[in-house]
A and B are shown apart, each in its own frame.
Chain A
């Protein structure tokens, strides 16, 4: 970064760990070592990473799959990777999920990350992708489903998909179109609020996500306390002390204990204003 290099060097020097700190961290780290677990077996697996490789697999499968369209599928996916569910259904993914159903009607249950799905049109394949927020039904198309802290985003490369969100919203998407299904649980809304805050979103958007989460919280619950702490911090940062005080009082009344000492100290400070 031209023009700022000298300042950055200052910061680099200031954050260079000293010998004593390194020694303390090393000693603590070595003391934390547990005896090796000889009984545990790792079960890693990798899937082909490229569609070029998939084409070969799909070709092989084409020779062996005919006549077994109703065979039950059951496979866990953890990427990055790529698999051919059948000659007509190919997935490339970077995330986690699983595949069930049958080769004619595969069901992809997607947990996190992105999965790209290609379905050969006009083969009578009825594929479904579902996440906690969305259900995507396709017949012959290419599309992406990405599940992150912000929700589930469906984007269509070609063909058409029908999307139904868990909050009852729905849409039919064509090429180039996208739709986001929002979170449905308090924990997921908290994840969305944190992701928005980390991305520097407007306070109003972060607070909106927090309030959606609070509306779904059981009282008491771990999520309630965390959402209230998050709300308190955003309001303090935004310079809204009256709302911050109300949030702190609500936290203190909720029975949450995780950040009790800090919230109590902040509430006292706000009361004294």
Chain B
């Protein structure tokens, strides 16, 4: 490696990434990720604001604009993990979290259903929650999820199978039954 020209080193030209444009385009997706991956115990606005505070400090490190979505998702993932850790212990502090409806009661309307779904997503392991949210809530293909998360497509598909099975078992335990809908086939 010390021989002349042994290893390729390439300095790429800096892409033109205007921060204001980035915020305009990505505020909504980042907020969605914070809400859907963070679960009901974190404040998605707080988390999204933390995401952009990190983005503005590190945007110069992005050499290729094509990597921006994956880079943003990685930052959002780390911020959500931090917020979830802080919220994890706070739930045991009396009065610090709102009462949660009895999970054994059968949901009766759309808001209750949404809450049960979010509670189930909240208890899934992080790697399963991510692929389930990105695929089944945000309707991305396995290739798109792989590009966003940096996982091989095969890994995305196998995690999605496990995530769906776990989701279904947990949802049924909470009194939620399938709604009979058809999503049109595998993605």
Residues of A within 8 A of B (CB): 1-8, 10-17, 21-22, 24-26, 28-30, 32-34, 37, 40, 42-48, 57, 61, 64-65, 68, 71-75, 83-85, 99, 198-200, 229, 232-233, 236, 259, 261-263, 265-266, 269
How far is A26 from B25 in the complex, measured between Cα atoms in Å?
10
Q: Are A21 and B178 in contact (CB under 8 A)?
A: no
Interface residues on B, range: 35 or more
Out of B49, B93, B138, B171, name the residue touching A262 (CB < 8 Å). Answer: B93
The contact sample of 5 A-B pairs, CB cut-off 8 A, is A7-B179, A34-B56, A44-B11, A64-B6, A99-B1
On whether A10 and B20 interact (CB within 8 A), knowing A4-B171, A43-B11, the answer reads no
Q: Are A74 and B136 in contact (CB under 8 A)?
A: no
How far is A24 from B48 in the complex, measured between Cα atoms in Å?
10
How far is A1 from B1 in the complex, measured between Cα atoms in Å?
50
Q: Are B1 and A75 in contact (CB under 8 A)?
A: yes
Task: Name B's interface SS.
Answer: helix
On whether A21 and B45 interact (CB within 8 A), knowing A8-B136, A34-B57, A236-B92, the answer reads yes
Shortest CB-to-CB span from A102 to chain B, Å, is 9
How far is A7 from B8 in the complex, measured between Cα atoms in Å?
51
Q: Are B88 and A233 in contact (CB under 8 A)?
A: yes
Shortest CB-to-CB span from B147 to chain A, Å, is 14
Q: Are A32 and B182 in contact (CB under 8 A)?
A: no
Shortest CB-to-CB span from A189 to chain B, Å, is 17
On whether A73 and B1 interact (CB within 8 A), knowing A32-B53, A44-B63, the answer reads yes
Q: Which chain A residues border B60 with CB–CB below 8 Å?
A: 37, 40, 42
How far is A3 from B116 in the complex, measured between Cα atoms in Å?
16
Shortest CB-to-CB span from A121 to chain B, Å, is 21
Out of A15, A25, A40, name the residue touching B45 (CB < 8 Å). Answer: A25
Q: Are A15 and B36 in contact (CB under 8 A)?
A: yes
Q: Which chain A residues border B178 with CB–CB below 8 Å?
A: 3-4, 7
On whether A71 and B31 interact (CB within 8 A), knowing A26-B24, A199-B125, the answer reads no
Q: Are B14 and A29 in contact (CB under 8 A)?
A: no
Shortest CB-to-CB span from A208 to chain B, Å, is 19
